[in-house]
Amino acid sequence: MHQMIHITPIHLPAAPAPTEEPARQYFYIRAAREYIRQLSAQKGEPLTFHVATFGCQMNAKDSEKLTGILEEAGYQKSDSENADFVLYNTCTVRENANNKVYGRLGYLNGFQKKNPFMMIGLCGCMMQEPAVVDKIRQSYRFVNLIFGTHNIYKFAELLYTALENTFGRDGDKNGSSMTVDIWQDTDKIVEDLPVERKYTFKSGVNIMFGCNNFCSYCIVPYVRGRERSRKPGDILQEIKTLAADGVKEVMLLGQNVNSYGKNLEEPCTFAQLLRDVADIDGIERIRFMTSHPKDLSDELIAVMAQSEKICRHLHLPLQSGSTRLLKIMNRRYTKEQYLHLVEKMRAAIPDIAITTDIIVGFPGETEEDFNETMDVVCRVGFDSAFTFLYSKRTGTPAAAMENQVPEETVKARFDRLLYKVQEIAAKKAMRYEGTVQKVLIEHVNERDESLVTGRLDNNSIVHLPGNAGMIGTIADVYLKECKGFYYIGEAR
Ligand code: 5AD
Ligand code: SF4
């Protein structure tokens, strides 16, 4: 398929690749750039790339890093999957995330058959599952590059290797061989690699990687590895640079931000880190994701209550309202402890928005257990909730439990829950109707160009008359009408 491409010998920088990071990756960015320049010359047009992201905020952030490197290497960004390098950054938290990827691979192969310059890459959480990689090696042989979550910092090097393995080094090694590199874990954090800045005014910032909690349904600890925190100095430096570049809102990212800092040589709590981030001039809004109820400290509540900059929004996954099930899920809190935490939070910050994640149909879930979940939903009154059908993930303890709940039962409970969640969320949203709130304007409305769209500090969406000049500003907006999940507003 790639036989007609001829690469002339490439003059890599004279020195061998450095062993230190990130210097090694910068070396491979230069090498890839030269390679891509030659491919582009043969194609007669610049090579393009497309990164598709599945899953969570963490993956979205990883995709910005991948994009940053692809741009530095000389590929041009494309909105279309009919590009010269298509990279899927995958998710595996639920089974349907995996199925989506397999479905779309066949379609990508159609493009590749017509484009001898096209490479297909797969990375992210799904690639950390050996069964997935075996299946791709066997049934999707046209894939050119596979890597996982632990060696993403080596992407430039992997990209260069894949280019050579696909198109050859000097014309005599043509013919595609798949480049596969998956690591089981890493304790390394490499700073200062290129990263795409998707928005000028807001940015996600990783504060930690991995998860040590092993909730019994969850595959994340197996595919993202053990918890490790970035040093506070590195995080603060990154945010200062972002602020100097005009960023107003940062979202601190981690699977369990409340246990930030535990593995550092000089321990630092998440609350301390938040305090230091709030001291940075130019940063006006601070968000974070995700909190685990078992680790949420009084110190954090106090910092949130004191700081004007920390958004009045807490995403606090409940998963189940049944203490019995929570124990089997290995969540390490009870229904009462969760409710008490919400009470403390609301006592300190009365109008805080609380959102959550809930799983329906965990093995052994009885009608009684489910009613406990409904009870918590009603008592807390979540501003919104992500509801999930339990999905069996091979390798997790819950997948081996015998009392899986029949599909129809799960579906019926799910519908009941969703109805209740939406009813409550719509009621909650009404409380801001008729008030003036601060809104960070994010983009021009896709459907109506006379409108702009932004977010309240509680993360709700607002549409208001405006123009592109307002993007990135924080405006006082009168919320004229609540439409359930969004507001219609007017700048004041
Ligand atoms: N099945 C369904 N939902 C799951 N989640 C994690 N693992 C599973 C699973 N096996 C949900 C949890 C988590 C969110 C990111 O995904 O609610 O908070
Ligand atoms: Fe998964 Fe639990 Fe870790 Fe969240 S805290 S990523 S649900 S194991």
Which pLDDT score is estimated for 286?
98
Mean pLDDT value of segment 168-191: 80
Which pLDDT score is estimated for 168?
79
Q: Is the CB of 218 under 6 A from ligand 1?
A: yes
Give 419-424 contacts, CB < 8 A, sequence gap 24+.
Answer: 420/374, 420/377, 420/378, 421/358, 421/377, 421/382, 421/384, 421/385, 421/387, 424/377, 424/378, 424/381, 424/382
Q: Cβ(123)–Cβ(88) under 8 Å?
A: yes
Please give the number of the atom of ligand 1 that sits closest to the Cα of 396. 10
Q: How far is CA 406 from CA 241, 366, 409, 415, in A?
A: 52, 11, 6, 15
Query: Among 223, 255, 319, 356, which is best to mutate for testing ligand 2, by the most ligand atoms less than 8 A from CB?
Result: 255
Which pLDDT score is estimated for 485?
85
Ligand 1 center to 34 CA (angstroms):
43
CA 143 to chain centre: 24
| Residue of minimum CA distance from atom 4 in ligand 2 | 255
Indicate the average pLDDT of the chain.
94
DSSP letter for 120, please.
Answer: E
Q: Report the percent of the chain where pLDDT is more than 90.
A: 91
Tens of pLDDT along 207-234? 999 999 999 999 999 999 999 999 999 9
Is the confidence at residue 173, as pLDDT, over 70? Answer: no
| Residue of minimum CA distance from atom 2 in ligand 1 | 390
Tens of pLDDT along 335-377? 999 999 999 999 999 999 999 999 999 999 999 999 999 999 9
Which pTM does this prediction carry? 0.94
| Residue of minimum CA distance from atom 1 in ligand 2 | 218
Tens of pLDDT along 461-482? 999 999 999 999 999 999 999 9
Is the confidence at residue 130, as pLDDT, over 80? Answer: yes
Which pLDDT score is estimated for 404?
94
Query: Among 92, 94, 209, 211, which is best to mutate for testing ligand 2, by the most ligand atoms less than 8 A from CB?
Result: 211
Tens of pLDDT along 23-56? 999 999 999 999 999 999 989 999 999 999 999 9
pLDDT grade, residue 300 (50/70/90)? Answer: very high
| Residue of minimum CA distance from atom 17 in ligand 1 | 357
Could you count the other beta carbons within 10 Å of the beta carbon of residue 153? Answer: 20
Crossing angle of the two packed helices 367-380 and 407-429, in degrees rounded to 10: 10
